[in-house]
Structure 1
Amino acid sequence: MERLLQSCRIQSQLVRECLAEFLGLYIAVLIGSGAAAQVITSQGTHGSYLTMQLGSALGTVTHDVCFLSGAQLNVVWSMSLWLLGRQPWRKVPLYALSHLLGAFLGAATVYLQYYDAIQVFSGGHLSVAGPNATAGIFCSYPADHLSVWGGIVDQVVATALLLICCLAVEDRRQGLLPDGLAPVLVGALILTIGLSMGSNCGFPLNPARDLGPRLFTFIAGWGEEVFKAGGGWWWVPIVAPFVGGLLGTLIYELLIEVHHQLTPQNQTKTHPKLLTLFSTAKTKHITLN
């Protein structure tokens, strides 16, 4: 067995990182959408809104699974790290593809697990809207009161907050955290966002987390309505998080990190990409992780 396992070992570090990112988001969707499926198909007898938020938050605490890649799990975070010069650009699209595939297969697994429950609850008719709608188990849809513009604002604000706090957690000049605490803090952050900003559209925050399951529901029987519902809502949780992620990154850099006292230890690398965006950051330096 050991010899067989050794023969399956992948030598490429980048491929192994992509596999870790794939598995991490697969688990996150499996737990998060599984929690939603349990609540919705049981009509609230096995869980509540809070348990759905807990499932989404705790599903992201997969740091040990994704140790090789740093458990980025969100292409918006990957883009932020690239913008800050902490990882090469070539990782961003490969991680994004890994996330998309992991989210797609995570949704497929939840559907298989809850197939009977979904069929009974929906009466055999897979719908996006209405009292027996089940598409919301897998991806985001706007509440009845939410406009497209309101959804954009919601996602920009929520994702900006996510990036600001994640950068604070990762900022070693704020102080070193005990091993294993960072993913717990990020999970608590996601729970906090869900509890305070989840009623508009379910706080997707992650383009692949929404698009992967949406593509699955499109081919699994929900049909074109997954892209038509909410006035063509589907693009909002894909585009708006990138805007919010960029905004959150710039806010943290300009209000917090640029003001850290520079020392010989943390002047090792110029902050290359933000220098092209802000003339006020011309003397900014950053320590690579």
Structure 2
Amino acid sequence: MTTQQRLLGELIAECVAVFIIILLGDSVAAMYTLYDPSPYKTAYWGVCIVWGLGVTIAIYVTGAVSGTHANPAVTLALATFRGFSWAKVVPYWVAQVTGGFLGAAVVYALFSPVIDHYALAHGMDRLHDGAAAGVFFTHPGEFVTPMHAFLVEIILTGLLVFGIFAITCEHNTMAPQANSGALIIGLLVAAIGASAGYLDAWAINPARDFGPRLFCYLAGWGPQALPSPGNYWWVPIMGPICGGLLGAGLYRSLIQPFMPRAVLTDSSTKTPV
């Protein structure tokens, strides 16, 4: 296999990984939002578990090909701290956002009649009221300003990447063994959502938010998606980017040096994340 063929496979894998996450995650968001009574309104943990399982399944499907970054913040953190090729960073980002876009398109194909009924029943429309936009992309919760959501995204993504670096650290003798790390990473995503998801819908992944947001912009939501009320669109991009670097840096400086046989660099670019 040539270098170009290998890169193509990695990009396809990254696209597929985010596609799986959005297909399952936005679908459970639709189940939560569009139905009354909702099967999840009194069982929010179920929503979190589905998002987490989406991540787990994506890793099992694509991890052997690309390492399943499935998140631009993770890709940047790996390039900064674990030797992932800088030349691949932007192509990985494009593939990840494309996966989010395609996943949202399929969720829309599944739920479009229900979305239309929801808008009609609530006297809303997409363009002016953003009807059902929360199915696809994130927004601040009650009493949360965009700048506070930016802080939330930094902290939550920092926790995510800190945990990923710990789970995948080759020197961590307490890390999950064999292929069980994918399940633990999925549970980490679920735990973050269960503990703080109502603050801003816990994007913690620029591709998870921007890919579906771009689709919705083209599918009739227009300015409700981009730039969105309060010009919010940049928060789920820059917050996770900053948080991912922070979480990785904290793991590198606070925990990794004290691991058995710890080293300051890790050249692996295939660690499942």
Give the TM-score of the pair, scaled to structure 2: 0.89
The answer as to whether partners of 1:31 and 1:56 remain within 8 angstroms in 2 is yes
| Distance change in 2, residues 1:143/1:230 (3 Å) | farther
Alpha-carbon distance, 1:260 to partner: 2.8
Q: Which structure 1 residue ranges, 5 or more long, are not aligned?
A: 1-9, 268-283
What's 1:57 paired with? Answer: 52
Using the alignment, how far apart are the partners of 1:219 and 1:99 within structure 2? Answer: 18
| RMSD (Å) for aligned C-alpha atoms | 2.2
Alpha-carbon distance, 1:287 to partner: 5.8
Using the alignment, how far apart are the partners of 1:192 and 1:129 within structure 2? Answer: 34
| Distance change in 2, residues 1:95/1:11 (3 Å) | closer
The code of the aligned residue for 1:64 comes to Y
Q: Does structure 1 residue 166 correspond to structure 2 residue 164? A: yes
**Number of aligned pairs?**
261
Using the alignment, how far apart are the partners of 2:148 and 2:208 within structure 1? Answer: 20
Q: Which structure 2 residue ranges, 5 or more long, are not aligned?
A: none
What's 2:66 paired with? Answer: 69
The answer as to whether partners of 1:126 and 1:221 remain within 8 angstroms in 2 is no
Using the alignment, how far apart are the partners of 1:101 and 1:237 within structure 2? Answer: 16
Using the alignment, how far apart are the partners of 1:128 and 1:145 within structure 2? Answer: 24
- Runs ≥4 in structure 1, deviation > 3 angstroms? 124-130, 284-289
Choose which of 12, 26, 31 in structure 2 pairs with 1:38: 31
The code of the aligned residue for 1:260 comes to M
Greater relative contact order structure (CA < 8 Å, 6+ sep): 2
Using the alignment, how far apart are the partners of 2:128 and 2:37 within structure 1? Answer: 18
Query: 1:130-209 maps to which residues of 2 (within 5 A)?
Result: 133-175=131-173, 177-209=176-208
Alpha-carbon distance, 1:68 to partner: 0.5
Using the alignment, how far apart are the partners of 1:224 and 1:129 within structure 2? Answer: 8
The code of the aligned residue for 1:137 comes to V
Using the alignment, how far apart are the partners of 2:259 and 2:247 within structure 1? Answer: 18
**Cα deviation code 1:109-144 (max 9, x no counterpart):** 0001001111111118533886x8300000001113
Using the alignment, how far apart are the partners of 1:206 and 1:180 within structure 2? Answer: 23
Alpha-carbon distance, 1:22 to partner: 0.5
| Distance change in 2, residues 1:95/1:44 (3 Å) | farther
What's 2:209 paired with? Answer: 210
Using the alignment, how far apart are the partners of 2:127 and 2:163 within structure 1? Answer: 33
Alpha-carbon distance, 1:174 to partner: 0.9
| Distance change in 2, residues 1:228/1:71 (3 Å) | closer
**Cα deviation code 1:52-107 (max 9, x no counterpart):** 22221111111221120111101111111111243111111111101111100100
The answer as to whether partners of 1:142 and 1:230 remain within 8 angstroms in 2 is no
Larger Cα Rg: Structure 1 or Structure 2? 1
| Distance change in 2, residues 1:161/1:128 (3 Å) | farther
